[in-house]
Amino acid sequence: MLRERIEPRCEIGMEACGGAHHWARELQTLGYQVKLIAPQFVKPYVKSNKNDAADAEAICEAMARPRMRFVPVKSVEQQDIQAIRRVRASLVEQRSAKANQIRGLVAEYGLVAPRELSHLRRALPRWLEDEANGLTGRFRRLLRGLSDDLAGLDERIAQLDRELELIAQTEPAAKRLMQLRGVGPIIATAMLATVGDARQFANGRQMSASLGLTPRQHRQQTTAARNQQARRRLSTELAHPWSARRHPNGQGQERSA
pTM: 0.74
Rounded to 10 degrees, the C-alpha dihedral 218/223/227/229 comes to 140
pLDDT single digits (tens) 122-175:
999 999 999 888 899 999 999 999 999 999 999 999 999 999 999 999 988 889
The parts of the chain modelled with pLDDT lower than 50 are: 221-227, 247-257
Task: List the beta bridge partners of residue 15.
Answer: 37
* Per-residue confidence (pLDDT) for residue 257, from 0 to 100: 35
What is the predicted pLDDT for the residue at 5? Answer: 72
Q: How far apart are CA 139 and CA 13, in angstroms?
A: 58
CB count in 10 Å sphere of residue 110 = 9
pLDDT of residue 98: 96
